[in-house]
Structure 1
Amino acid sequence: MNEKGFTLIEMMIVLLIISVLMLIALPNMTKNNSLVKSLGCEATIDLVQGQVGAYEAEKNTIPTVEQLFTEGYIDTKECPNKQPILIDSEGNVSVSPVE
């Protein structure tokens, strides 16, 4: 008889290799996820800062986050990491400190 297929040992070796790759990959993916959220927040702050300048040029007043949102200048009031965006009285954009 000439049966073709995988033996139990071959299947166990494949599962072992996949398990080792997952153990290596998962910690790196979670570490990079926090880095991506941090960089995403910086990009969001830069975008909102630009929209503050555009609003100020058009309306000659410094907007609030709510005004930018309701008038369609921005599409979110928070960073990807869920920190609320703040605009001070001089038009500088920042995020609420983490509590």
Structure 2
Amino acid sequence: MLKNEKGFTLIEMLIVLMIISILLILIIPNLAEKNTSVQNTGCDALVQMANGQVQAYQMDNGSLPIDMNALVTENYLSKTTCENGKTLTLTTDGKVIAQ
């Protein structure tokens, strides 16, 4: 009789699934923690870009914008909110901050 020994046994498959499960359990929480860090870094970059656009608006128009909506309507910015939920605000001295 011919013996067909090709393929995996049930125990080998269960061991592979267990190893994959353990790796997923270790990796997924780290990705969630990094998501917050990435969103905060992106918000900082958006604030820096908005500060540059305030300066460009001032050079083009000779005065500071009234608020962030003026930058959006004049096409200097496309959005005034960060991915982490913070909103960009223009201070009285012309600096942009995220609140």
TM over 0.5: yes
Q: Displacement, 1:3?
A: 4.0
Q: Give the aligned partner of residue 20 of structure 1.
A: 22
Question: 2-side partners of 1:44 and 1:36: how far apart?
Answer: 12
CA separation in 2, counterparts of 1:32 and 1:15? Answer: 26
Residue of structure 1 equivalent to 2:46: 44
1:55-94 aligned at under 5 Å gives the runs: 55-63=57-65, 64-94=67-97
Question: What is the aligned-residue RMSD (CA, Å)?
Answer: 0.9
Q: Are the aligned partners of 1:45 and 1:93 in contact in 2 as well (CA < 8 Å)?
A: yes
Paired residues, number = 96
Distance in 1 between the 2:85 and 2:72 partners? 16
- SS of the residue corresponding to residue 84 of structure 2 reads coil
SS at match of 1:39: helix
Unaligned 5+ segments in structure 1 are: none
The letter for the 1-side match of 2:4 is N
Residue 4 of structure 1: how far off its partner (Å): 1.5
Q: Does 1:4 align with 2:25?
A: no
Q: What are structure 2's unaligned runs of at least 5 residues?
A: none
Kept in 2: contact 1:62–1:89 (CA 8 A): no
Q: What TM-score do the two structures reach when normalised by structure 1? A: 0.92
Runs of 4+ more than 2 Å apart: none
- Structure-2 separation of matches of 1:33 and 1:87: 27
Which structure has the larger Rg over C-alpha atoms?
A: 2
- Letter paired with 2:7: G
